[in-house]
């Protein structure tokens, strides 16, 4: 029976990956950091919290001693590092914490693997945010990085540390450069889930207006459950390598708002521009979307669109779910949660 450590089990991707590895008969060790209130709602929603092969371990990325402890105790075959301070917006207000967690935290793990057992396979959650201010469309494994946030900068450090440990010490250390991936388990601070939760509330007449920042940013959004399959495939490949996972489609935040309202039969029209832009319910003529500059970022990533042809060719990975299907799945799940009285 293979053993895998997945860091960040309270997060979106780790929950789906744990579910996947359990179906593949792994013993899964999911790590969480100590907080004053526990937040296992994602694994509970997937119904795996009491699975006999799922074990939960306390671990903080910035604590090197706990990296040694968990690796020594578990003796894993594979480690998937999915924990991070992952919210770009917060990285501007907490740049040093972000660098320590999202950057140095990865080095802690690599050092512990190198010294305890260099045969452990390692997956690092790299990101399209590393491309930042892009000068190539679409972006692939060869596209140069120009990060636009402290989060992106920390992820570039972690990405190169992973490659460096592979080249220097021959670790099986891989990086997946994943473009945005969403799901009903996405955190509400991220724009897609903020939108689908608001659409559900506006539909149910529990909210009047949705306030957003930059509506013009373009993202390549896929379905998270498919992306965690790619992570597993990367660690089963014959050699450690870097892979982009993406849909090769790009849409604006405005497009995603329009799509999401459409799933509940609300047609939206757009008026004004930039900070004064509003979205109008064409049937009632009510303003249901407004721009609030509070949600703008000091530096923005304007356009992301990924080319995942290397992953398709070498791993047989590709996306299946369309953005329309994803928006519908997320809105439906938020309607259900908001109807049942609570929404995480």
Residues identified as active-site: 127, 129, 151
Residue 89 interaction partner, one of ligand NDP, ligand GDR, none, beta carbon < 5-8 Å per kind:
ligand GDR
3-state secondary structure of 57: strand
Which helix (H) or strand (E) is 227 found in, with range? helix 224-236
Query: Residue with the closest Cβ to ligand GDR?
Result: 217
From the list ligand NDP, ligand GDR, none, partner contacted by residue 334 (C-beta under 5 to 8 A by kind) = none
- Sign (positive or negative) of CA dihedral 137, 139, 141, 146: positive
Q: How many CB atoms lie within 10 A of CB 177?
A: 27
Distances (CA, A) of 46 to 6, 12, 17, 205: 16, 11, 11, 28
- Could you give the C-alpha distances from 40 to 1, 43, 104, 334, in angstroms and in order? 25, 6, 25, 18
* CB of 302 vs ligand GDR, minimal distance in Å: 8
Interface with ligand NDP (CB under 6 A), residue from 18, 54, 101, 305: 101
Give the span between the Cα atoms of 104 and 98, in whole angstroms. Answer: 9
Q: Which of 83, 113, 154, 191 binds ligand NDP (CB under 6 A)?
A: 83
Using CA atoms, how far apart are residues 35 and 280, in angstroms rounded to an integer?
41
Give least dist CB 265 to ligand NDP, A: 28
- Angle CA(177)–CA(44)–CA(33) in degrees, nearest 5? 60
CB of 86 vs ligand GDR, minimal distance in Å: 4
CA separation, residue 326 to residues 44, 127, 214, 221 (Å): 21, 20, 21, 9
Phi, psi of 28 (to 5 degrees): -110, 130
Should residue 28 be labelled a site residue for ligand NDP when binding is judged by CB under 6 A? no
Binding partner selected for residue 82 from ligand GDR, ligand NDP, none, CB under the kind-specific 5 to 8 Å limit:
ligand NDP
Comparison of 230 and 279: residue with beta carbon closer to ligand NDP: 230
* Residue 343 beta carbon to ligand NDP: minimum distance, rounded to whole angstroms: 16
**From candidates 54, 70, 82, 156, binder to ligand NDP by CB under 6 A:** 82
Q: 128 or 166: whose CB is closer to ligand NDP?
A: 128
Select from 4, 18, 21, 61 the one that contacts ligand NDP (CB under 6 A). 61
Q: Which is nearer to ligand NDP, 90 or 264 (CB)?
A: 90
Number of residues that bind ligand NDP (CB under 6 A): 26
Rounded Cα distance between 162 and 156, Å, is 10
State the binding partner of 253 from ligand GDR, ligand NDP, none, CB within 5 to 8 A by kind: ligand GDR
Instruction: Tell whether residue 323 is a contact of ligand NDP (CB under 6 A).
Output: no
d(CA 314, CA 123) in angstroms, rounded, equals: 17
Where does this chain bind ligand NDP (CB under 6 A)? Answer: 7-8, 10-14, 33, 35, 39, 59-62, 82-86, 101, 125, 127, 178, 180-181, 187
């Amino acid at each position: 029976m293979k053993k895998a450590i997945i860091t960040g089990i309270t997060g979106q991707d780790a929950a789906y990956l744990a579910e996947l590895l359990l179906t593949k008969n792994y013993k899964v060790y999911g790590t969480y950091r100590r907080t004053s209130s526990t937040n296992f709602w994602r694994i509970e929603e997937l119904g795996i919290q009491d699975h006999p092969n799922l074990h939960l371990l306390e671990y903080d990325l910035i604590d090197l001693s706990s990296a040694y402890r968990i690796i020594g105790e578990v003796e894993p075959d594979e480690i998937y590092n999915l924990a991070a301070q992952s919210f770009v917006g917060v990285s501007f207000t907490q740049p040093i914490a972000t660098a320590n967690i999202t950057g140095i935290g990865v080095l802690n793990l690599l050092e512990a693997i190198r010294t305890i057992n260099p045969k452990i396979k390692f997956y690092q959650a790299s990101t399209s945010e590393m491309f930042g201010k892009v000068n190539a469309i679409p972006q692939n494994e060869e596209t140069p990085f120009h990060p636009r946030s402290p989060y992106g900068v920390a992820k570039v450090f972690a990405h190169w540390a992973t490659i460096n440990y592979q080249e220097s010490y021959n670790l099986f250390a891989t990086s997946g450069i994943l473009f945005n991936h969403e799901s009903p388990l996405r955190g509400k601070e991220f724009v897609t889930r903020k939108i689908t939760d608001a659409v559900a509330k506006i539909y149910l007449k529990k909210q009047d207006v949705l306030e957003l920042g930059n509506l013009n940013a373009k993202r390549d959004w896929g379905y998270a459950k498919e992306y965690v399959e790619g992570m597993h495939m990367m660690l089963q490949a014959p050699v450690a390598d870097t892979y982009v996972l993406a849909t090769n489609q790009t849409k604006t935040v405005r497009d995603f708002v329009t799509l999401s309202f459409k799933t509940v039969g609300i047609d939206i029209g757009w008026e004004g521009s930039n900070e004064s832009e509003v979205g109008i319910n064409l049937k009632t003529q009510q303003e249901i979307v407004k721009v609030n500059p509070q949600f703008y970022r000091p530096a923005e990533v304007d356009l992301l669109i990924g080319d995942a042809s290397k992953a398709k060719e070498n791993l047989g990975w590709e996306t299946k779910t369309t953005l329309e299907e994803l928006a519908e799945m997320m809105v439906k799940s938020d309607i259900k949660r908001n109807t049942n009285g609570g929404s995480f």
